[in-house]
């Protein structure tokens, strides 16, 4: 038998109940609000990542970008094509945003220019513009998209990257994970995941609006990769490399997402 | 705000004349946020997860708890919402009878969910227009999807401002109820009654349980 020495609990008055519940609720609210504030402070003041292939972003944000890339790459398919338009819709005045690596004082002579493909064992494949133009030509009119928010329908012609790979018997290299491309002066450079590089709409372009590429658009040869933002569409390709690790990438070093895929 | 550093892409330009810039230079300079696009994008692609998951959990909660009954507009809501508006603008003296939420709130809180779904769809349409081409098509193309996505964001700003103003106007007891989830209603002079079930006994003040 229980002893009855404890006093029976007094029934709380309604006012006490109100006060108690208010106290609990407001304490919880304050704790949550403080937590949210602290969380934001932590994120905002988080240290910058160690500069490497990617740089310039807060550590947790870079982590989020990389994780998000992994999630959305599951949806990537080479059967998904960028929307194309009739030629008549292509812009006459094609926008240029950047001239890093192709500045006006850096002359380029299409006659002497050679594309360098760095193969295994230090072997270098040299391809001239004439060689490339002898390959089947592919044209595309698509909506070129910039991270800054603008987009413009433009018309390009050149060699499909996958045709180029096939013709020069580089298929083995496509088993690697990345392709790196750099301007001849190595001032601008991009890294592409292999899937995006061999996407059927990825071009090594030497024409714009049916004419040879103008200098400011990357003459003599530029990359057109419609499944990426403009920042990956390197102008004036000097060299191509293949690797299993991320090649260096100009804008990924400045805080942008490495993948930047569409 | 960081995410809208975008080389002044956000403006209304018709036939080459710019009528209105959403983010003029002084805006960036006052907030000290010029040239921070990459940073803004990084925040955007983290918080999109947070907002989307938060939205999903909230909708699931309203479904499981049955709270959606209080939130979805009823047949009379659209007519009553107008009367609520007139009342809140001090044009009309009385407000129509209501349950936990008034007609205008029902419409607003349901609209914000639809807007949220719209933001996720237009967002994906802009984010992966090649992989999710069908969403981009659904949103009227890449460019229009961007405009919709931005317009919805302006909608949230508007919702937020109206919402905060309404909470301030509704007063302390309402705010207390928002936090604690119950209302105190003075029944007879001094006595106070706790309304345990969160359903109004006599009359309610505006009881906003979630602040969007």
pLDDT at B94: 72
pLDDT at B12: 58
Query: Is A83 in contact with B184 (Cβ distance < 8 A)?
Result: no
Residue to mutate among B35, B42, B135, B142, with most A CBs inside 10 A, is B42
Minimal-distance CA residue of chain B relative to A17: B194
Q: Do the strands A114-118 and A239-243 form a parallel or antiparallel pair, or are they unpaired?
A: parallel
pLDDT in tens, A165-181: 999 999 999 999 999 99
Exposed, middle or buried, B65 (CB in 10 Å: 0-12/13-18/19+)?
exposed
Sequence spans of domains, chain A? 59-95+112-254
In this prediction, residues B88-96 reach a mean pLDDT of: 72
Tell how far CA B78 is from the center of its chain: 18
State the distance between the two ends of chain A, measured CA to CA, in whole angstroms. 74
pLDDT in tens, B26-66: 666 666 665 678 888 888 899 899 999 999 999 898 888 87
pLDDT at B199: 41
Give the containing element (helix H, strand E) for B162.
helix B142-170
To the nearest whole number, what is the mean pLDDT of chain B? 73
Residues of A with CB under 8 A from a CB of B: 14-15, 17-18, 21-22, 24-26, 29, 56-58, 60-62, 64-65, 68, 72, 75-77, 80-83, 143, 145, 147-151, 226-227, 251, 254-257, 261-262
Query: Is B38 in contact with A57 (Cβ distance < 8 A)?
Result: yes
C-beta pairs of A107-113 under 8 Å, 24+ apart in sequence: A108/A184, A108/A215, A108/A219, A108/A220, A108/A236, A110/A212, A110/A219, A110/A220, A113/A184, A113/A220, A113/A221
* Degrees, nearest 5: CA angle B127-B48-A68: 65
- In contact, A168 and A177? CB cutoff 8 Å: no
pLDDT at A7: 61
Residues of chain A whose pLDDT is less than 70? Answer: 1-9
pLDDT at B190: 41
Q: What is the spatial distance between Cα A19 and Cα A16, in angstroms, rounded to a whole number?
A: 5
Q: Is the pTM of this model over 0.90?
A: no
State the count of interchain CB pairs (< 8 A) between A and B.
100
- Phi/psi of residue B61, nearest 5 degrees: -60, -45
State the distance between the two ends of chain B, measured CA to CA, in whole angstroms. 18
* Degrees, nearest 5: CA angle A81-B42-A234: 50
Beta-ladder partners of A239? A116, A182
Tell how far CA B125 is from the center of its chain: 21
Q: Which residues of A touch B9 (CB under 8 A)?
A: 148-150
Q: Name the fold adopted by A59-95+112-254.
A: Sulfite Oxidase; Chain A, domain 2 (3.90.420)
Helix (H, G, I), strand (E, B) or coil at A173: helix
pLDDT at A182: 93
Residue to mutate among A19, A55, A61, A79, with most B CBs inside 10 A, is A61
Query: Is A22 in contact with B136 (Cβ distance < 8 A)?
Result: no
Q: What is the spatial distance between Cα B136 and Cα B115, in angstroms, rounded to a whole number?
A: 17
Residue for token digits 């089947």? A136
Residue to mutate among B4, B38, B140, B172, with most A CBs inside 10 A, is B38
CB-nearest to A149 from B42, B43, B146 is B146
Residue for token digits 């009528």? B19
């Amino acid at each position: 038998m229980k002893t009855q020495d404890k006093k029976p609990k007094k029934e709380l008055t309604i006012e006490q109940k109100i006060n108690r519940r208010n106290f609990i609720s407001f304490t919880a609210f304050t704790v949550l609000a403080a937590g949210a504030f602290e969380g934001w402070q932590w994120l905002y003041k988080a240290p910058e990542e160690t500069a490497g292939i990617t740089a310039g972003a807060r550590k947790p944000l870079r982590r989020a970008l990389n994780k998000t890339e992994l999630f959305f790459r599951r949806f990537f398919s080479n059967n998904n094509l960028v929307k194309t338009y009739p030629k008549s819709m292509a812009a006459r005045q094609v926008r240029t945003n950047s001239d890093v690596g192709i500045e006006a004082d850096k002359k380029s002579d299409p006659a002497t220019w050679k594309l360098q493909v760095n193969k295994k064992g230090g072997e270098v494949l040299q391809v001239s513009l004439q060689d490339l133009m002898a390959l089947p030509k592919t044209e595309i009119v698509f909506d070129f998209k910039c991270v800054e928010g603008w987009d413009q329908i433009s018309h390009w012609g050149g060699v499909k990257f996958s045709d180029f790979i096939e013709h020069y018997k580089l298929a083995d290299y496509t088993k690697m994970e990345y392709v790196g491309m750099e301007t001849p002066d190595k001032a601008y450079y991009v890294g592409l995941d292999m899937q995006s590089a061999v996407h059927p709409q990825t071009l090594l372009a030497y024409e714009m609006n049916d004419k040879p590429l103008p200098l400011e658009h990357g003459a003599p040869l530029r990359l057109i990769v419609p499944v990426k933002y403009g920042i990956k569409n390197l102008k004036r390709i000097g060299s191509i490399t293949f690797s299993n690790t991320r090649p260096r990438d100009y804008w990924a070093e400045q805080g942008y997402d490495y993948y930047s895929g569409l | 705000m960081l995410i809208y550093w975008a080389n002044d892409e956000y403006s209304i330009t018709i036939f080459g004349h710019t009528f209105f810039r959403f983010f003029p230079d002084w805006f960036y300079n006052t907030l000290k946020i010029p040239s921070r696009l990459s940073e803004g994008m990084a925040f955007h692609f983290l918080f999109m997860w947070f907002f989307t998951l938060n939205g999903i959990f909230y909708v699931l909660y309203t479904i499981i708890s049955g709270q959606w009954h209080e939130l979805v507009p009823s047949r009379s809501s659209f007519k009553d919402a107008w009367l609520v508006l007139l009342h809140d603008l001090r044009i009309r003296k009385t407000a129509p009878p209501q349950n936990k939420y008034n007609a205008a709130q029902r419409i607003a809180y349901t609209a914000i969910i639809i807007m949220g779904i719209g933001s996720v769809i237009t967002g994906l349409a802009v984010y992966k227009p090649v992989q999710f081409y069908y969403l981009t098509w659904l949103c009227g193309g890449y460019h229009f999807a961007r405009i919709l996505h931005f317009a919805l964001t302006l909608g949230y700003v508007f919702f937020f401002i109206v919402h905060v103003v309404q909470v301030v106007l509704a007063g302390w007891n309402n705010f207390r109820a928002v936090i604690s989830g119950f209302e105190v209603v003075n029944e007879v002079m001094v006595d106070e009654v706790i309304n345990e079930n969160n359903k109004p006994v006599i009359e309610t003040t505006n009881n906003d349980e979630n602040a969007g």
